[in-house]
Amino acid sequence: MRIAIASDHAGYEYKEAIKAFLAERGHEPVDFGTDSDESCDYPLFIRPAAEAVASGDCERGIVLGGSGNGEAIVANRVAGVRCTLCWDRESAEMGRRHNNANAISIGQRMVTLETALDIVATWLDTPFDGGRHARRIAQIDG
- Structural domains in the chain, CATH included, are 2-141 (3.40.1400.10)
Question: What mean pLDDT comes out for the span 5-26?
Answer: 98
Nearest CA-CA partner of 117 in 29, 22, 33, 35: 22
* Residues β-bridged to residue 65: 107
In 1-142, the DSSP E strands lie at 2-7, 28-31, 60-65, 83-86, 103-107
pLDDT for residue 130 = 77
Residue 137 scores a pLDDT above 80: no
- Nearest CA among 52, 80, 69, 76 for reference residue 106: 69
pTM score, whole prediction = 0.93
9 is catalytic: no
Average pLDDT along the chain: 94
> 51 an active-site residue?
no
pLDDT of residue 76: 98
Residue 63 clears pLDDT 80, i.e. is over it: yes
Inform me whether the pLDDT recorded for 64 exceeds 80.
yes
Catalytic residue among 16, 93, 98, 133: 98
The residue from 38, 71, 93, 133 that is catalytic is 71
